[in-house]
């Protein structure tokens, strides 16, 4: 194992070392070399224990610097900690995961919730190169929901959110960009180009390669109007702000707006699904929808949205006429 070295990646410093021929990189999240050295010293000084609890604690501490929704990780771990916290990674077995799953099901928790809790444990032990010692079994990935908003429902939701400008802006820009919640809440004004009429959702830092892909998309007319208003009233670097600070979550505000508009079973993620569904219904080619959403493989997009296109399988049906 080599010593940590500080290297500059796309304007920000990162610590790099080699382990068994593989490169490990830790973002220091600063362009100041002296500050990068201090952060690396702090990081190296923190010993990581061998128990799952210690590994998860170190993993979440790291994610506080890189993930906007790191509190969700804490919430999931809080549930899993009594079962896994005191164990060593090699003590995690399929039988243990199944027993944990059954216990959570008995308490009324949904498979998707239990899966997220186990995913935090798995991600933490893998993050610290301990994953080979553990054997996980997770509940199956839940089927994607087909529910998306009609245009009338979208207008109703926007109207219901007018009390809170940040929630209203989030809804409008989500429908216009198809962006994931984290990407939109991390959007800063330096990546909004009014002259070219584009919005760049990628952060352009050393972690871009490890994130889910983020696209650069053109502004819709509605998005440009919202952005002009927000830009004129801005008080910080982030596009979605409240009280002069970036917004970390719109979950509560969105739920309140949904309730006021009479919509049920909707979450912030439905806006991304809605944007893609509207494009598919208008006959936008699957490849273009995939690029807009930032999907790395258009087959992912085709599997989810091809059935919404106006000519879906019509030629196949026509061949069966007699």
- The pLDDT value recorded for residue 173 is 96
Report residue 53 as tokens: 């609890």
pLDDT band at 212; cut points 50, 70, 90: low
If one compares 14 and 210, the residue with the highest pLDDT of the two is: 14
Residue 10 CA: distances (Å) to CA of 13, 17, 29, 31: 8, 18, 11, 9
CB 47 within 8 A of CB 11: no
User: pLDDT digit string (tens) for 32-60?
Assistant: 888 888 888 877 766 567 899 999 988 88
- The pLDDT value recorded for residue 129 is 76
Mean pLDDT is lowest, of 48-57, 81-90, 98-107, 286-295, for 48-57
Mean pLDDT, residues 245-252 taken together: 91
- Predicted confidence (pLDDT) at residue 211 exceeds the cutoff of 60: no
φ, ψ for residue 184 (rounded to 5)? -75, -40
CA-CA distance, 293 to 11, in Å (whole number)?
26
pLDDT band at 68; cut points 50, 70, 90: low
Q: Are strands 241-242 and 216-218 parallel, antiparallel or unpaired?
A: unpaired
Mean pLDDT is lowest, of 133-142, 233-242, 272-281, 284-293, for 133-142
- The pLDDT value recorded for residue 45 is 64
Residue 129 CA: distances (Å) to CA of 67, 79, 87: 20, 23, 16
φ, ψ for residue 20 (rounded to 5)? 55, 35
- Predicted confidence (pLDDT) at residue 206 exceeds the cutoff of 80: no
- What are the residue boundaries of the structural domains of the chain, listed by start? 1-45, 48-143, 151-308
Nearest alpha-carbon partner for 76 in 94, 93, 60? 60
Share of the chain residues as helix, strand and coil, in percent rounded to the nearest 5: 50, 10, 40
- The pLDDT value recorded for residue 220 is 94
- Predicted confidence (pLDDT) at residue 72 exceeds the cutoff of 80: yes
- The pLDDT value recorded for residue 113 is 93
- The pLDDT value recorded for residue 12 is 83
pTM: 0.68
Report residue 259 as tokens: 């309730």
% pLDDT > 70, the chain: 93
151-308, which class in CATH?
mainly alpha
Report residue 170 as tokens: 């989030």
Q: For the chain, give the mean pLDDT.
A: 88
- The pLDDT value recorded for residue 77 is 94
Domain topology for 48-143: DNA polymerase; domain 1 (1.10.150)
- The pLDDT value recorded for residue 15 is 84
- The pLDDT value recorded for residue 196 is 95
Mean pLDDT, residues 194-216 taken together: 76
Mean pLDDT, residues 85-114 taken together: 94
- The pLDDT value recorded for residue 180 is 92
User: pLDDT digit string (tens) for 136-149?
Assistant: 999 988 777 788 99
Residue with tokens 């993930």: 67
């Amino acid at each position: 194992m080599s010593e940590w070295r500080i290297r500059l990646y796309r304007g920000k410093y990162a610590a790099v070392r080699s382990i068994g021929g593989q490169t490990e990189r830790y973002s220091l999240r600063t362009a100041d070399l002296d500050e990068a050295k201090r952060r690396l010293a702090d990081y190296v000084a923190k010993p990581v224990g061998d128990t799952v609890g210690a590994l998860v604690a170190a993993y979440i501490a790291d994610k506080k610097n890189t993930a906007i929704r790191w509190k969700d990780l804490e919430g999931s771990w809080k549930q899993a900690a009594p079962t896994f916290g005191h164990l060593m990674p090699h003590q995690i077995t399929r039988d243990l995961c199944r027993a944990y799953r059954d216990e959570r099901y008995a308490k009324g928790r949904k498979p998707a919730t239990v899966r997220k809790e186990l995913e935090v444990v798995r991600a933490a032990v893998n993050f610290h190169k301990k994953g080979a010692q553990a054997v996980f079994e997770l509940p199956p990935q839940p089927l994607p929901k087909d529910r998306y908003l009609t245009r009338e429902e979208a207008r109703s939701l926007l109207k219901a959110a007018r009390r809170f400008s940040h929630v209203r802006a989030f809804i409008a820009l989500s429908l216009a960009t198809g962006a994931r919640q984290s990407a939109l809440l991390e959007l800063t004004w330096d990546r909004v180009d009014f002259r070219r009429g584009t919005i760049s959702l990628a952060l352009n830092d050393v972690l871009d390669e490890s994130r889910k892909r983020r696209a650069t998309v053109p502004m819709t007319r509605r998005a440009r109007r919202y952005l002009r208003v927000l830009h004129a009233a801005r008080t910080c670097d982030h596009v979605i702000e409240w009280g002069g600070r970036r917004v970390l979550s719109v979950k509560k505000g969105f739920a309140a707006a949904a309730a006021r508009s009479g919509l049920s079973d909707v979450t912030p993620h439905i806006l991304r699904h809605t944007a893609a569904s509207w494009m598919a219904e208008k006959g936008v080619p699957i490849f273009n929808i995939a690029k807009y959403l930032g999907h790395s493989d258009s087959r992912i997009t085709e599997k989810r949205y091809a059935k919404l296109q106006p000519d879906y399988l019509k030629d196949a049906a026509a061949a069966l006429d007699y």
